[in-house]
């Protein structure tokens, strides 16, 4: 097995684990969500469109270019591939991107306008560089859009102005977050899902 194959196989194992874990948590119901890993300066491994993430295996993952083009025959990449590609092209600090569709992300993204402001939560320390709860993290909320080119360029323009944002919400749709490794991205999903749940409960009380 050459180095490229080994990298792809490692991504398959990592993303399959993430899929099973997220499905058990209810964060990727039905066939929702999509995941990717940067493999090198040109390629990413990304989930096949419409694949149930709780049953993710090698068949549910394909190779695509960082421009968003599929490179594996007979497999259709996630409909949201351009959202992944734009982030990888924007910064080399991102090597894994995870997208979830939890109840709390969906509900909160419809209740709030423009952004979710998170302050004074101890769990914010799950994000790199944050050492105290006395901090504010802003999660932008973009309107949902079926035109992925347009949505990707909206997200990219925001990122250019706010490079520190650890994730974003799409209204009525879900959460995108990322990290330098799959483990970091997974920790960010767990922290953000926890914080979204806290915010929904706080707004309800």
Ligand X SMILES: CSCCC(=O)C(=O)COP(=O)(O)O
Distance in Å, CB of 100 to ligand X, minimum: 9
Is 99 within any annotated ligand binding site?
yes
- CA–CA gap between residue 47 and residue 28 (Å, rounded): 13
Smaller CB separation from ligand X, 29 or 180: 29
Q: Does 167 bind ligand X (CB under 6 A)?
A: no
Q: Does 106 bind ligand X (CB under 6 A)?
A: no
Site for Zn ion in 174-193 (CB under 5 A): 174
- CA–CA gap between residue 89 and residue 84 (Å, rounded): 9
Side-chain half-sphere CA neighbours of 188 within 13 A: 27
- CA–CA gap between residue 170 and residue 105 (Å, rounded): 9
Interacting partner of 102 out of Zn ion, ligand X, none (Cβ under 5 to 8 A depending on kind): none
Q: Could you tell me the maximum CA-CA distance found in the chain, to the nearest angstrom?
A: 56
Using CA atoms, how far residue 23 sits from 34, 52, 125, in Å, is: 12, 9, 25
- Specify the stretch interacting with ligand X by CB under 6 A; choose among 25-33, 66-74, 109-117, 187-195: 25-33
Q: Each residue of 21-35: b (16+ CB within 10 Å) or e?
A: bbbeeebbbebbbbb
Q: Does 100 bind ligand X (CB under 6 A)?
A: no
Interacting partner of 68 out of ligand X, Zn ion, none (Cβ under 5 to 8 A depending on kind): none
Return the residue matching tokens 């991107």. 97
- Specify the stretch interacting with Zn ion by CB under 5 A; choose among 135-143, 160-168, 171-179, 192-200: 171-179
Smaller CB separation from ligand X, 14 or 78: 78
Interacting partner of 19 out of ligand X, Zn ion, none (Cβ under 5 to 8 A depending on kind): none
Helix (H) or strand (E) holding 4: helix 3-25
Is 133 within any annotated ligand binding site?
no
Helix 182-204 to helix 3-25 angle (10° resolution) is 20
Among 13, 30, 117, 157, indicate the residue that binds ligand X (CB under 6 A).
Answer: 30
- Specify the stretch interacting with ligand X by CB under 6 A; choose among 17-25, 31-39, 82-90, 125-133: 31-39
Contact positions vs ligand X (CB under 6 A): 30-34, 47, 49-50, 78-80, 99, 101
């Amino acid at each position: 097995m050459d180095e490229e194959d080994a990298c792809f196989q490692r991504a398959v194992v990592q993303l399959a684990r993430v899929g099973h874990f997220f499905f058990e948590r209810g964060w990727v119901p039905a066939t929702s969500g999509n995941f990717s890993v940067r493999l090198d300066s040109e390629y990413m491994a990304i989930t096949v469109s419409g694949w149930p993430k709780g049953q993710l295996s090698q068949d549910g993952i394909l190779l695509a270019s960082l421009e968003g083009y599929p490179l594996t025959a007979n497999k259709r990449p996630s409909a949201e591939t351009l959202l992944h590609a734009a982030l990888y092209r924007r910064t080399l600090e991102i090597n894994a991107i995870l997208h979830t569709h939890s109840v709390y992300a969906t509900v909160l993204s419809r209740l709030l306008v423009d952004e979710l402001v998170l302050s004074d939560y101890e769990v914010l320390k799950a994000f790199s560089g944050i050492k105290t709860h006395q901090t504010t993290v802003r999660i932008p909320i973009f309107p949902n859009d079926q035109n992925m080119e347009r949505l990707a360029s909206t997200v990219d323009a925001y990122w250019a102005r706010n490079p520190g944002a650890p994730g974003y919400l799409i209204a009525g749709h879900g959460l995108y977050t990322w990290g330098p490794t799959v483990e970091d991205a997974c920790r960010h999903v767990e922290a953000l899902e926890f914080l979204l749940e806290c915010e929904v409960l706080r707004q309800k009380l």
